[in-house]
């Protein structure tokens, strides 16, 4: 083949400019839902209660969420445990590795934008029939060594955007993995907060149960003395013994739950159950945030990691339609080789020992049994599936926020009622005890008053814990403020 090397290079460069529009649909992010709120009636603030964790909480429209939202509970122990969990929990490491894998896969696909260049040096030892050589060229030695170094260049111009769509799909998949990492981060921190609140609640319930046991034991001692003096019947003593036994029976299940909760917190922080946590949590050690963010509905879809991941998966599915369409159009391939062949190394690349080739080919699928058409239809169906999953994720996100807001309002009302019930039950118990000492009421009245007081105290502790738990759930439902963390760029 005649010509000059620069001309061949010019052909390759020109081919790279044959970039048309990428086939397939261009992705456009779905518009946010056109809703103005999360409930039919606007929210302003919750009720207050005369109790621990009873302050009114005000909802602030458009208030931003801190990247470390759990610090609003003002617990140094909680901050320490979450910091440890973020460093040691394997779910974070797994999500980070998945993101790296997706990113490197995308970079690998980008390599198809460039020519593939390879060097193939070949040295061969040959035996040629001596009688087949002409007398003018034969040296009489049938053995010779042929040295052939060769440079090969191949390139597939992305004329119809097949590679661009493939890279676009992989980039979207990497974006989905990025938000899966954020979802893992949010789930982990939320679970640690929920676990700390549950531990605090259990400690409060255990304290209430132990106080009940102490009171019942004291009362039993009094009744035994009175029975010895003939002031009360043995039936009253036996009834109090049964009451004390029941109170003691209620304690082990609470202690078991506390131990299991501590095991869970140890696992969340990357430790084993045998490794005792230095942090402990009580309701007194937590502070209830007075102001709560209420993100605009139009912003929620941009804040929730699960929604963003679903959008990225939708983008990836859209790009895969383009990949399927591009498989049905012609594909151009360009190849070029440059080399030299000689019997001696000193003759390599000398005039008369060199060779080069430039070639181009076009491949147009004609018949593959309908496989390409059905793959395109399958890609479209996958896009429709991803679109439905995205809509479902958005609906679940709005429901999650609405449910949490309802829970916060209900928690405040419930705490107010629980505080009133606990106060009334405590006063009633004090009066009944005084009346019993004066002989004005039967012992059965005291038992009823004690049971009511114990139930009211446990309900109060649980109502207090619910306010903390659902406050944390609101931060999680609104996305957790990942965009305000220092380690998140852009």
Q: Mind listing the pLDDT tens digit for each residue in 186-221?
A: 999 999 999 999 999 999 999 999 998 998 898 899
Does 461 or 450 have the greater pLDDT score? Answer: 461
Which pTM value belongs to this model?
0.87
What is the chain's Cα-based Rg? Answer: 38
Phi, psi values for residue 80, rounded to 5°: -65, -45
> Which pLDDT does position 130 carry in this prediction?
65
Contact yes or no for 109/316 (Cβ under 8 A): no
Is residue 45's pLDDT more than 70? yes
CA distance 277 to 452: 35
- Cα four-point dihedral sign 255, 261, 267, 271: negative
Backbone conformation region of residue 488, classed left if phi is above 0, alpha if psi is from -120 to 50, else beta? beta
Helix 162-228, helix 305-326: angle, nearest 10: 150
CA distances in angstroms from 29 to 32, 98, 172, 320, 377, listed in the order given = 9, 24, 12, 16, 22
Query: Residue length, the chain?
Result: 490
Task: Determine which of 38-47, 61-70, 75-84, 369-378 has the lowest per-residue pLDDT on average.
Answer: 38-47
> Which pLDDT does position 489 carry in this prediction?
52
Q: What is the mean pLDDT of residues 116-144?
A: 73
CA distances in angstroms from 76 to 94, 201, 279, 281, listed in the order given = 28, 18, 9, 10
Residue 14: name the closest of 358, 356, 291 by CA. 358
With 0-12 / 13-18 / 19 or more C-beta atoms within 10 angstroms meaning exposed / middle / buried, residue 196 is buried
Task: Return the C-alpha torsion angle 268, 271, 276, 282, nearest 10.
Answer: -10
CA distance 425 to 50: 15
- Cα four-point dihedral sign 473, 478, 479, 481: negative
Residue 55: name the closest of 473, 472, 468, 478 by CA. 468
> Which pLDDT does position 13 carry in this prediction?
41
Residue 92: name the closest of 269, 242, 322 by CA. 269
CA distance 402 to 408: 10
Domain ranges of the chain: 22-115+160-330+371-484
> Which pLDDT does position 428 carry in this prediction?
94
- Looking at CATH, the fold of the domain delimited by 22-115+160-330+371-484 is given as Outer membrane efflux proteins (OEP) (1.20.1600)
CA distance 313 to 50: 49
With 0-12 / 13-18 / 19 or more C-beta atoms within 10 angstroms meaning exposed / middle / buried, residue 136 is exposed
Task: Return the C-alpha torsion angle 413, 417, 419, 420, nearest 10.
Answer: 140
Print burial letters for 63-99: b (CB count within 10 Å at least 16), e (below 16).
eebeebbbebbebebbeebbebbbeebebbeebeebb
Print burial letters for 322-342: b (CB count within 10 Å at least 16), e (below 16).
bbbbbbeeebbebbbbbbbbb
> Which pLDDT does position 18 carry in this prediction?
45
What three-state secondary structure class fits 361? strand
CA distance 360 to 332: 7
pLDDT band (50, 70, 90) for residue 471: very high
pLDDT band (50, 70, 90) for residue 431: very high
pLDDT tens per residue across span 321-379: 999 999 999 999 999 999 888 888 888 888 988 888 999 999 899 988 899 999 999 99
> Which pLDDT does position 359 carry in this prediction?
93
């Amino acid at each position: 083949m005649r010509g000059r090397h620069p001309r061949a290079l010019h052909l390759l460069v020109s081919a790279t400019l044959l970039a048309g529009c990428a086939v397939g649909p261009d992705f456009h992010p779905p518009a946010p839902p056109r809703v103005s709120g999360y409930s039919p009636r606007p929210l302003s603030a919750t009720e207050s209660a005369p109790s621990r964790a009873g302050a009114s909480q005000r909802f602030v429209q458009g208030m931003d969420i801190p990247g470390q939202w759990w610090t609003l509970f003002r617990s140094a122990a909680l901050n320490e445990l979450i910091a440890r969990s973020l460093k040691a929990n394997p779910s974070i490491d797994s999500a980070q590795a998945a993101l790296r894998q997706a990113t490197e896969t995308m970079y690998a696909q980008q390599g198809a934008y460039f020519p593939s260049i390879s060097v193939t040096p070949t040295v061969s030892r040959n035996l040629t029939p001596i009688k087949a050589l002409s007398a003018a060229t034969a040296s009489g030695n049938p053995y010779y060594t042929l040295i052939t170094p060769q440079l090969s260049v191949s390139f597939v111009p992305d004329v119809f955007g097949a590679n661009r769509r493939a890279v676009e799909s992989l980039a979207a998949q990497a974006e989905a993995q990025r938000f899966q990492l954020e979802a893992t981060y949010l789930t982990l921190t939320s679970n640690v907060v929920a676990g700390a609140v549950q531990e605090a609640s259990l400690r409060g319930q255990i304290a209430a149960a132990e106080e009940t046991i102490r009171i019942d034991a004291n009362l039993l001692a009094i009744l035994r003395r009175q029975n010895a003096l003939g002031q009360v019947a043995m039936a009253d003593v036996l009834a109090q013994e049964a009451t004390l036994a029941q109170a003691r029976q209620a304690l082990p299940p609470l202690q078991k739950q506390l131990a299991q909760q501590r095991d869970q917190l140890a696992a969340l922080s990357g430790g084993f159950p045998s490794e005792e946590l230095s942090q402990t949590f009580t309701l007194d050690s937590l502070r209830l945030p007075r102001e709560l963010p209420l993100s605009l509905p139009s912003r929620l879809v941009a804040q929730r990691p699960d929604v963003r991941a679903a959008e990225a998966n939708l983008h990836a599915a859209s790009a895969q339609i383009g990949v399927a369409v591009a498989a049905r159009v012609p594909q151009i391939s360009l190849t070029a080789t440059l080399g030299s062949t000689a019997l001696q190394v000193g003759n390599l690349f000398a005039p008369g020992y060199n060779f080069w080739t430039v070639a181009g080919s076009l491949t147009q699928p004609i018949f593959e049994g309908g496989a390409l058409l059905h793959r395109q239809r399958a890609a479209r169906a996958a896009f429709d599936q991803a679109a439905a999953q995205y809509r479902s994720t958005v609906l679940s996100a709005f429901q999650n926020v609405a449910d949490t807001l309802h829970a916060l309002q209900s928690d405040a009302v419930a705490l107010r009622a629980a505080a009133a019930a606990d106060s009334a039950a405590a006063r009633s118990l004090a009066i009944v005890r005084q009346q019993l000492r004066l002989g004005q009421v039967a012992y059965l009245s005291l038992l009823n008053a004690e049971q009511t007081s114990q139930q009211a105290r446990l309900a109060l502790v649980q109502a207090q814990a619910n306010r903390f738990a659902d406050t944390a759930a609101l931060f999680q439902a609104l996305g957790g403020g990942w965009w305000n963390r220092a380690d998140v760029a852009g």
